[in-house]
Amino acid sequence: MNIILFGPPGAGKGTQSKYLVNKLNNFQVSTGDILREEIKKNSIIGQQIKKNMNEGKFVSDEIVNELIEKIINDTQKKDKLIFDGYPRSLSQAKYLDLLLDKSGQKIDHIFFLNVNKDIIIERIEKRKILENRADDNTETILKRYDTYMETTRPVLEFYSQNPNFHEINGTQEIDQITKEIEAFINV
Ligand code: AMP
């Protein structure tokens, strides 16, 4: 089963995707984590990624799509993908459809974790202390939220036409969100 977890930064996509990965024995596809790994290598691409991330901007589709293509074409991961933080723009969403189609796969469920801006800021301020992420400071958080609203909202419109699109109230307790997701995927 391939699932997309969708929503603003701090919506709880990472938490739910880690749970689903264990439960379904699937693979988490977090472009944020993959990009952070690339930064650690301190390559030229890594330095560019770091700059974009710390400014709250998106990393280019060219870089992200290339990383994604490798994962989708990995036969071990076929039909076992939990997307967390990808796709984030309409062009990425269309590219994902194309890659899945080419590899004989589809998206089974799309969950939109809906959370308002005030709660996001509160959650990311807390996460900053726990995870020590360089992009979790107030200025970058606000920029990331604006980037999300501008670039990711059209993806929401695109997916909301899909019969397997489900909106979940992301301000609820973690367990309640998990229960609602599980009800849709019948596990
Ligand atoms: P995340 O860990 O998902 O919150 O992502 C952290 C940062 O990584 C984002 O603010 C972007 O700079 C970058 N990033 C993650 N996923 C993508 C993506 N699909 N497209 C472009 N940039 C991304």
Q: Residue 136's pLDDT is what? A: 80
Calculate what percentage of the chain has a pLDDT beyond 90: 74
Indicate the top mutation candidate among 31, 51, 155 to test ligand 1's pocket, ranked by most ligand atoms within 8 A of CB. Answer: 31
| Domain residue ranges of the chain, discontinuous segments joined by + | 3-185
Atom in ligand 1 nearest the alpha carbon of residue 140: 10
Over the stretch 25-41, which tens digit does the pLDDT of each residue have? Answer: 999 999 999 999 999 99
Residue 187 has pLDDT above 80, yes or no: no
- Band (145; pLDDT cuts 50, 70, 90): confident
Beta strand spans in 69-131 (E): 81-84, 109-114
* Full-model pTM: 0.90
CA of 34 to the centre of ligand 1 (A): 9
Task: Please give the structure tokens belonging to residue 33.
Answer: 């984590």
**CA dist 184 → 106, 138, 166 (Å):** 16, 35, 8
What is the atom index within ligand 1 of the atom nearest the CA of 92?
Answer: 19
Cα end-to-end distance, the chain, whole Å: 11
Coil, strand or helix: which one is 20?
Answer: helix
- Interval 66-106: pLDDT, tens: 999 999 999 999 999 999 999 999 999 999 999 999 999 99
Q: Are 108 and 1 in contact (CB under 8 A)?
A: yes
The rounded distance, in Å, linking the Cα atoms of 182 and 25 is 14
Q: How far apart are CA 185 and CA 72, in angstroms?
A: 21
Substitution candidate for ligand 1 out of 53, 60, 92, 142 with most atoms within 8 A of CB = 53
Name the residue of 6, 49, 58, 61 to mutate for ligand 1: max ligand atoms within 8 A of Cβ. 58
Q: What is the mean pLDDT of residues 158-164?
A: 95
CATH architecture observed for domain 3-185: 3-Layer(aba) Sandwich (3.40)
How sure is the predictor about 120, in pLDDT bands with cuts at 50, 70 and 90?
confident
50 CA to centre of ligand 1 in angstroms: 11
31 lines ligand 1 (CB under 6 A): yes
